[in-house]
Structure formats: structure tokens, C-alpha cells
Structure 1
Amino acid sequence: MIEAAMIWNEPNNKSHWDPNIDPDWTMFADMAVAAGRAIKAENPDIPRVLGGMSPIDPGWVNNMASKGVLDNVDAVAVHGFPLDWNLWKLDEWPEKIREIKAVTDLPVWVSEVGISTFGAEEVQAWGLKRTAELLIGQAPRIHWYSLYDLPRAWPATTRHREAEGSSYYRHFYMGLLREDGTPKPSLEVFGEYAPQLGLCQWFHYEDHRLDDAVAWMKRLGVTYLRTGLSWADSFRPNALDWFDRQMEALQDFDVTVTFCFTPEHRGIEPHHTSPPLDKQEFADFCASMIRRYAPRSAVARPPVQAMTG
């Protein structure tokens, strides 16, 4: 069920990790090392992936290497949105992968790549085709973000929200499907590249879209998926019931599970981007999820070296 475990999401982005509390990522590194060791202790056959960086930054990778993080993961990941938020061109994707490969021998995954339809749906369809041409064969895992548009009633996980102007509203139009579940032109294009392309789809607590998402992914020929199990959500009522339902629904896919989001009451500051008061609590959460959904007694996955593409 679980193909890989990802430690955090965009840890070098202030929307997901607070640089005012941890400006040199020392606390993040300590937490990531503890989590990597905890996951390996539970099941050494589960590849551990360092949460996708955004922006793509070789200097940050070197920082993580100097702090021992890369000794406790089996792959690193990058996120890129050159037509929406990044200050580089779509055709630069191969160069961005090479920049990271130049500073680490670990496999480099693309755990989020996508294009918003905020301006025009045709741009996403064209961009998806071009992205597939540029990235297939360059990375062992390419997760297109995302299947669904983000419902407008939900907040996007970003730091300053509406103050970001149009940059904020682009978050709501990243899907192959509109909020009401109807297809965009890019859905048919995506189907031409599955299963070489996978998907990244975050499911909120008790997400009403889960079963429909599974049906769509099977229809599209998707074989691998990235999603999350939120440490913060683990404190909600009946959290394990929801986690069980989510993971059972996704059992036919190779799932990369991302562990992230600090519970407000367990952070140095009461925010999901805060370093935790105790790094071991996050490591224990990761271990408990591996123990529950990818126990060592399960059939072992191929080692990460077999997924280097």
C-alpha cells in the first residue's frame, strides 16, 4: 500500500516551515533525521524521501547534507510550477533536475508539478503535454498536481492568503477536474501519459471526494499517487478511522505518503509551519503510521535504487 514515506512538504518554503523560528533549518534537520531513523526502524524496506523542496535550491540540499539529513533518506524531491509561481521557464525543467543531481547522488523525484487554469484551461492542457515530454525519463517519480481543483470554501495552504493577490487564487485551479467534478481539457491529455505520470492529490480530513477520486484515477490508468497523512489531523476526533478509510480506498495504488503539519498545540508557535516542541513526537507519529500501514511483515517493496529511472 505504501510505496514510500515522505518527510514533510516544501520544508524550504515559508508556507510550510517557519524561517523566523528556524532560519538555518537546524530544527528541521534534527526533526527529519529523527523521522528518517524512526521510519527505517519500523520498516527498512520503505524508501524515505526528503519532502519536495520549493524553490528548487541546490544550496538548501547542501545544507541538509551538512546536517546529516541526506544520510537518513533514500531520495530527495523537488516541486516546480514555472507557469504560475517560479521565476524560470517551463523548458528549464531538465536543467533544474541536473542542478540537484550535481549536489547529491540520491534519486531526484518530482513530487509536485502542475499548471493552474486561473488564466485559461487551454494553457494547462498544452503545459501538461510539454511537461510530460520534458520530465518523463528524467525522474523516477513524477506526481502531477492535482486531480481536483481546491474547493473555494477551503483555504489554500499558503502563508499570506488573499494578500498574495492572483498568486493566491491560482491555488484553486490546479486540478484536471473542476471543483464540481467535471473534466477540463487537460484530463484527456493526462490520460495519454499515465501510468508514466502519477498524481499528487491531498485529501482533507473526511474528504468527500475520496471515492470519486479513486474511480477517476483507475479510469485514467494511474498506478502511483502521492498524498498525505497529517500529524495535525491525528488529534482530530476519530482520526484513525479516517486514516484507515483513506488508506483502504487507495490500496490499489503505489502510495507515497507525506507526513507533515505540526499540530498547533505541539508547536513552538501555534501554527502548522512551526517546528515542534519535541522532534521525537513527529518521529513517533511517522513510526506509528508505518507500523499501521506498512508493517515490516508486509511484502517488501523493491529498494529505491530500482526506482531511479
Structure 2
Amino acid sequence: MARIPPPVAAVRTAVRRGLADLPEDALVLVACSGGADSLALASAARFARRRAGLVTVDHGLQEGSDRRARSVAAWARDAGFDPVRIETVSVAGLTGGPEAAARTARYTALTTAAAELGAAAVLLGHTRDDQAETVLLALARGAGPRGLAGMPVRRGVLRRPLLDVARADTRKACAALGLAPWEDPHNTDPAYARSRVRATVLPALVDALGPAVLGNLARTASLAAADTAALDELAGAALEQSRSEAGLSVAVLTGLLPAVRGRVLHSWARELGAPGGALAYRHVVALDALVTGWHGQGSVHLPGGIEVARRSGDLVRVVPAHIK
């Protein structure tokens, strides 16, 4: 019996572990662009699962993207995937830069497809290298623990079973299996921050610190994710304890650990209607100053036209006079 090449075995093992909690007959979908990571993932899922389908998303952002999507779908049908779907999306009107808008459109399409097809999971092909890049980008923008936690292994129906697998191994797996990956030109386009990190920053770190730096960065994400989950749980309970008839009790908030209080204030601001994409660190700091640095200052203005003030020992939302 021929020996399975180690990179192929690594990808297959990761997929099996990532789906170990699902019944054997559960439908699993693979999100596949045709790149090495998602192609290796798709092959492993087809090998490991009785029911494996595939979804390829056409963002319409590159010339010939529709032809590539049809090519990926044709390969999937020949390989025995069922069902196979092409999802065509538009990024028009979506917030954020082109990468963020494309990601939002893609994940919406994937979760919708999963719901319509009754899939138990949608597999994404992000690797250990992708996680390392995510951590570095989070550090560069001054993100806190939530940003350093990187991409979660699971979020809803989406799963990332390859976060412990090196990008080099997905390429080697494709070569061993005779698969021809598509090379996305966006991955080498210096207009994108992630592409610059991939092309220059990570190689420089590996040269300076050794190849273990990639795994260490990914491990940092795992540790930060666990800590963040614990703090979020504490903050959820603290938010309920802090509630008053008017808003939030300053006395209760004062007694909270700063890390917990910051999360409570962030969650409360979201409850009031502040959009998450616009709610920044400085807004939470300003709210915290109403609790810990009170000297009679005026209201704090949050995104979404929300105004918060300290009144009679509570943080309260201020209702403008013209709508009272």
C-alpha cells in the first residue's frame, strides 16, 4: 500500500479533527476559490466525509472571475462533490475597504447557502500562516486581546480546520495529489496590507527569528481567544449586575476590573445602537472616564448619534430635547 505523503496526511487529519463532533451523514460544504489552501481542504473533505458539497464565490472583482468559478465548480462535480454551487455576490454598498466588503459578501453567501442546503458546517481554508498574518495586522493597528485572538476556529456554521496547518503543506498536498491551484493576483498585490505582510514582514521575521515564529504567532491567537472568551463571560454577568432603572450604576462599574468594565461599556454602547464598525477604543475610554475620572464633564458622543452622560450616580442615555 502506497504511503500517504505527509502534507496530504496533515490536511486530512486536520479536517477529521475539525469535524469529529458531526454525525457521519451530516452534509459539509467546502468554500473553495481554487487556490492551494481551499483546494487541498476540499480534497481532504471529500476523502474524509460521506457527504461533501462545495461552494465557490464569484465576487466579480477580477476579469474572468465567472469563468474561474465555473472551472472550480466543474472540477468539484467531477471529483464527486454534491451539491456544487456558484454564488455570485456584489460588494456594492458594503462598508469597509475592498477586502472587508468582499469578506462580508462572501460569508453572507456561504451562511445563506448552508441554511438553504441544510449543511452542518462550511469549511474555510485559512492556514496557520493566515492566522500569523492576522495577528501581525492586529498588532499594527493597536488591537486589544480580541484582535490578537485572530480568526476563530468556529463561528456559527463556519469552521477553519487548517489553522494548525502550514501554507507550505497545502501547496505540497496539492502537488502530491496532482491538483493545479489558481494563484490569486490579489495575494501578491502590494496595494493590500495583508499582501505586504505576506511578502515582506513574515519572511523577515522568519529570517530573524526562525520558522517557529509562525506557529508562535498562531499560538498567541489561540491563547488570546481563550482569555477573551473568559473575560467576555465575566463581562456578560457584570453587565447584568450593573444595570439600573436609568442605565448603568456607576457604583457597580467602579468596582469592576478595568478589563471587565471596558467590555461592559462596549457591550452597553452596542445595546444602545452604536454600530460595531464605528465604535472605537477612544469611545470606550471616554465612557470609562465618566466612571473613573468624573469631574463634571459633559456628555460622551458615540457613533450613531448616541449621547451618554453621568446623572445621579448612573450612566444614562441622553434623549435630545427635540425628540422628547
TM-score by length of 1: 0.29
Give the structure with the larger helix fraction. Answer: 2
TM-score by length of 2: 0.28
Query: Bigger relative contact order, structure 1 or 2, given CA contacts below 8 A and separation 6+?
Result: 1
Q: Which has the larger radius of gyration?
A: 2
